[in-house]
Structure 1
């Protein structure tokens, strides 16, 4: 992933890339032996983005735990948000909605190139939701999408 970074970039970020670069990034990701899981939620009118994020994270952690994943690294969103995420994961564990074996850590995006893969996969899914299916198609059957919209 670091080889795909342009000289002035500290990290790859889907929103900042041209469609030509997006194609290249997704093609490279599709060639790697990586399975992707994405959780999509189209919230209700007035639903806060943080609630949608939490619902998606709950399902994602559940699905990853079912597949035997033991460590999940989230992109850090700052100290306060990171602490909220940890509290939420602890509550989900206590409710047995997420496996106790799943550990969650946070990393600064520019320091963890594997987070760039997740960003690109999510970008491909988001693009498909608004009618630009090209990037999603490039990922083929390497990506499973769970729609948890109400």
Structure 2
């Protein structure tokens, strides 16, 4: 109906970069925002990037030339990426870093991007439970509304999760000194840095 706001969805994945010697690094929570009704062609374009017996795109498994190709494809898809980077992250404080990054990402997606549903990459049942507890905590603090639906999905079943995986990889690579891939998708990415201390 005319005048109704577009109900956007977001898909979320994480990345961690930790220097074991210094015991510090960054926690990256990346999201991609899109109209769920327009994702069919995006999913088809992502599947077209698969090679051989590959069942999903996974940034860490791709070669540099393939990463360039994936970044170029994402750049042309018309999606918006919102990335929260938590620094510095101690090696054994991953879940704390995730909670702090969620506390910034979820309200930003709902408030600034009118996202009504968030699908995070599925983890173990215990870790999914921790995510649910954090969502309830954010609702209790009135940082997000109960209307924001947060669930999980598996990358083998949902190609939209391949995009935040790649975006997180590009952001992480840039922070480690290689900005090539982030440069390709920079126009689609909003990056927010939060302190973990």
Report the TM-score when normalising by structure 1: 0.94
Of the candidates 89, 98, 101, which is equivalent to residue 135 of structure 2?
A: 89
Higher relative contact order, chain-length normalized (CA < 8 Å, sep 6+): 1
Q: Whole-Å Cα distance in 2 between the matches of residues 45 and 95 of structure 1?
A: 26
Q: Whole-Å Cα distance in 2 between the matches of residues 5 and 105 of structure 1?
A: 26
State the number of aligned residues.
Answer: 150
Asked whether 1:13 is paired with 2:58, we answer: yes
Greater fraction of residues in strand: 2
Aligned to 1:117: 163
Change (3 A) 1:46 1:15: closer
Shift of 1:50: 1.2
Equivalent position SS for 2:138: helix
Q: Whole-Å Cα distance in 1 between the matches of residues 159 and 89 of structure 2?
A: 33
Change (3 A) 1:46 1:126: closer
91-100 vs 59-68, greater mean Cα deviation: 91-100
Of the candidates 94, 98, 111, which is equivalent to residue 53 of structure 1?
A: 98
RMSD between superposed Cα atoms in Å: 1.3
Report the TM-score when normalising by structure 2: 0.72
Greater fraction of residues in helix: 1
* Runs of 4+, deviation exceeding 3 Å: 44-47
